[in-house]
A and B are shown apart, each in its own frame.
Chain A
Amino acid sequence: MQQIFMPLNSATRRLPVWAVYLLGVLPFVWLVVQLFTGQLGVDPVKAIEHALGLYGLYFLVGGLAITPARKFLGLNLIKYRRAIGVLSFFYVATHLAVWLVLDIQLRWGEIWDDILKRPYITIGMLSFLALLPLALTSNNASVRKLGSQAWRNLHKLTYVAVPLGAVHYIMIVKGWQIEPLLWLGAILVLLFLRRFR
């Protein structure tokens, strides 16, 4: 199995990290293009809000997959993990910003009520708050300042934030739809795989 990924590993060694950032913002650019060419329907705000949330989830799951991919497949993408994490936060943060500014339109009374009283929003906010310190410490200076053990412990918050994001997705759709449940299932599998050395 590990041999299959050997050529891929040497190929990725040549792909610079900045290229991953560049590729990672393409979905965002595509949304903006669709917006300005009127391809998002009559309610573009909802379309953007949902798309950004989904992209955030995809990158979070991608970040979570890197360690098991190395352990079980021999695929080494570790040098892109920070980029993937930062990109996931970019999408989650813009998703939240679209909700605050374009959807609920800074009606703080209603925002506060929603955060306290609507479980899916409460859970979404908890997920965001768990990701915030990780985004803020995604730089070498923070690793040095915290020490690598403390930094690594802090970043175990992803194990909480990512499943919460999937639960937020499950709760917002009508009824029990299969896709968000599959995402939560995949996340739980990726977390479970960490138990094996």
Chain B
Amino acid sequence: GAAHAKGQYAVEGIDEVNSLEDITSYNNFYEFGTGKGDPAQYAHALTTDPWTVKIDGLVDNPGDYDLADILANVDIEERIYRFRCVEAWSMVIPWNGFELRQLLERAGVQSSAKYVAFETLVRPEEMHGQRSPILDWPYREGLRLDEAMNPLTLMATGLYGEDLPNQNGAPLRLVVPWKYGFKSIKSIVRITLTDTQPETSWNMQNPREYGFYSNVNPEVSHPRWSQASERKIGGFFASRQDTLMFNGYGEYVADMYADMDLSAEF
């Protein structure tokens, strides 16, 4: 349940949850344009029903999974996470969703799989941003298998107990709270288990600025700005706060990176 989840993954500095207006009117979703307000203005054009997710690659049960079928076999719960954008702002968001591992276990991950690749829908007639080559569509993201199986890794289906608004990645999006927001890929239509590190959109666009891991790390600057602190979105007097290692979720995830130099593998 919600209360259990909140207690289980409590992190520092999550006091005030952002309003629904904050969360639904300030978005990066380049499929609908590059402005923060574009997704709220244009995402209504997206058809989210029917929706299927293709699960393929190194799995025992590959196939096209209907969204209703996916949701009937997972436990939906509330997770209040801080969302830290690579642009150095953050929000606190009450997601509804299920742990990604539940879906992966159902698909039957084979022992040779090491990574999970995700893809967003390509439908330029409904997603007008895809008519310009800002990114190499479809939007792609990926996680190492242990990251994907971590209990914090959520497939979100809602916000504030309601269905996910289109601008937030309806009907199904990833939420990886210890990584920069662009890792949390929206409107997912394909999940592929693979043994090689998948290509990811922002890393393809600018590998110097955006690494595959993109763990929130106040000590590794973005080449154009510092990541040491962040502005919490919410009004004129939005406070700036120190950014925490792994966005504050270190006690749940730091072990996965114990042997890595996180300034080299950023």
Contacts and interface: CB of A to CB of B under 8 A. Distances in A.
A110 B228 contact: yes
Contact of A42 (B25, B134, B225, B229): B25
Contacts of A45: 231, 236, 238
Interface string A25-49: 0000000000100000111110000
B25 A110 contact: no
A120 B224 CA distance: 8
B36 A41 contact: yes
Contacts of B50: none
B51 to A, nearest CB: 28
Interface range on chain B (Cβ under 8 Å from partner): 20 to 34
A103 B231 contact: yes
A115 to B, nearest CB: 11
A194 to B, nearest CB: 33
B224 A175 contact: no
Chain A contact residues: helix, strand, loop or mixed: helix
B263 interface: no
B233 A43 contact: yes
B89 A43 contact: yes
Given A35-B236, A104-B240, A41 B26 contact: yes
B25 A41 contact: yes
Contact of A43 (B26, B221, B226, B239): B26
Given A42-B21, A43-B26, A45-B231, A174 B34 contact: yes
A142 interface: no
B224 A42 contact: no
Contacts of B224: 118, 120, 171
23 contacts: A41-B37, A42-B21, A42-B22, A42-B25, A42-B234, A43-B231, A43-B233, A44-B235, A44-B236, A45-B236, A102-B236, A103-B240, A104-B229, A105-B239, A107-B240, A110-B226, A110-B228, A113-B226, A114-B225, A117-B221, A118-B226, A120-B224, A175-B134
